[in-house]
């Protein structure tokens, strides 16, 4: 298995619509405004956060349980930025929609700009033949409120191509998050 570079990513986008919308360059500005970078990087792709957020709250004193998820555990926010309370958590999604090839595994890492502010981005691997918007998990590990910007970079995806295709893909086993759109909550 080897990591793939920017030319491979561009080819997969052209041939298989792997990333939509796709930014072929790494963007750092919009006009005169500085951005947290997004787009194609040397060996990956920096994804953007959409403007849909679910911020966890303890107002209703519910228990966070992945088997019986209570929608009262969060507040919906639709805005160009999201404030995550101290020591709290939010869900969001990527602007980009992904179609992962059968011989590719994708690993996601948070951008250092956010990590240096105590904001951790977690995403599980994108398996072969998974498709959808990526649900992003943001943890604010600080004792201060933290800001996340919509339509700017939040994480980097690294693409690993296998020497062979996998025996059973995410699509083959009808994974429960296949084709997800919007911010997707836990399913069992």
Would you name the residues annotated as active-site residues? 137
List all residues 6 or more positions away from 98 whose beta carbon is below 8 Å from its beta carbon. Answer: 18, 19, 106, 126, 130, 131, 132, 133, 134
The encoded tokens of residue 121 equal 């981005």
DSSP state of 115: H
Cα 10 → chain centroid? 19
Residue with tokens 């303890």: 58
Greatest Cα pair distance, the chain, in angstroms, is: 50
């Amino acid at each position: 298995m080897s990591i793939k570079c920017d030319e491979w990513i561009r080819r997969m986008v052209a041939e298989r619509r792997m990333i939509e919308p796709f930014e072929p360059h790494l963007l750092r500005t919009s006009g005169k405004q500085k951005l947290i970078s997004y787009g194609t990087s040397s060996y990956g792709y920096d994804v953007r956060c959409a403007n849909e957020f679910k911020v966890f709250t303890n107002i209703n004193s519910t228990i966070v349980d992945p088997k019986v998820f209570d929608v009262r555990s969060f507040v919906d926010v639709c805005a160009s930025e999201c404030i995550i309370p101290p020591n709290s958590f939010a869900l969001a999604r990527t602007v980009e929609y992904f179609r992962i090839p059968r011989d590719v595994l994708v690993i996601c890492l948070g951008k250092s700009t956010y990590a240096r502010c105590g904001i951790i981005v977690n995403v599980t691997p994108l398996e072969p033949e998974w498709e959808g918007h990526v649900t992003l998990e943001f943890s604010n590990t600080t004792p201060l409120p933290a800001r996340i910007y919509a339509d700017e970079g939040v994480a980097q995806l690294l693409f690993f191509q296998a020497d062979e295709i996998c025996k059973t893909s995410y699509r083959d086993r009808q994974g429960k998050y296949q084709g997800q759109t919007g911010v997707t909550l836990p399913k069992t």
